[in-house]
Amino acid sequence: MQEILLQKLQRYISLNNPELLFELEQERQLTTYLTEKVNTVKALMSQRGKSQPDYIIEETCLDILTQDLKPSRYNYIRGILEEEFEKEFQLLCDTPLLQTEIINIIGYCKQVFDEIGFTQANEDDLFLRYNIMGAVSEYLESNSVKENVDNELQQSPAFTPKY
């Protein structure tokens, strides 16, 4: 059961918290993190085959393991992009950069998330949503301005010889 939980936890993180997965991989701490996390439910895993079917114990363990990973900032930002910034979202969907950009936006919005708090109790809060939308808008504007400047620099010749 431990191996199954390790795999399911990693899959959960890759789908809902890829920013965490990226950070753990960069620090080469993914295996350690997953193992330590799964070890926290060893007592529950030992109940296997006693009073509850295995799938219920497995599901309960996974709920406990993912409790502090909810709600997903990644899914929240992705939803805002998809609903409120459709054009930019579609442009990103046409490239392999969607996940990377959402991870960057999460970093850009970190202060807002931390100051207002981001919990399951307030993930539907309009004040939070509008503040995050403002930060996402700033991020997108700053990156589109930078891209426009970069594109213009690439298109304009640095030196035009006169003949």
**Whole-prediction pTM:** 0.83
Q: How far is CA 12 from CA 69, 109, 136, 163, in A?
A: 9, 22, 25, 63
Query: pLDDT tens digits, residue range 96-140?
Result: 999 999 999 999 999 999 999 999 999 999 999 999 999 999 999
Q: How far is CA 60 from CA 47, 53, 65, in A?
A: 11, 11, 9
Q: Which of 29, 16, 6 is nearest to 68 (CA)?
A: 16
Query: pLDDT tens digits, residue range 1-32?
Result: 899 999 999 999 999 999 999 999 999 999 99
Domain ranges in the chain are 2-69, 73-155
Q: Which residue's structure tokens are 């589109």?
A: 144
* pLDDT for position 146: 47
Summary mean pLDDT of the chain? 89
Contact 33, 12 (CB under 8 A): no
* pLDDT for position 29: 98
Q: Which residue's structure tokens are 């969607």?
A: 98
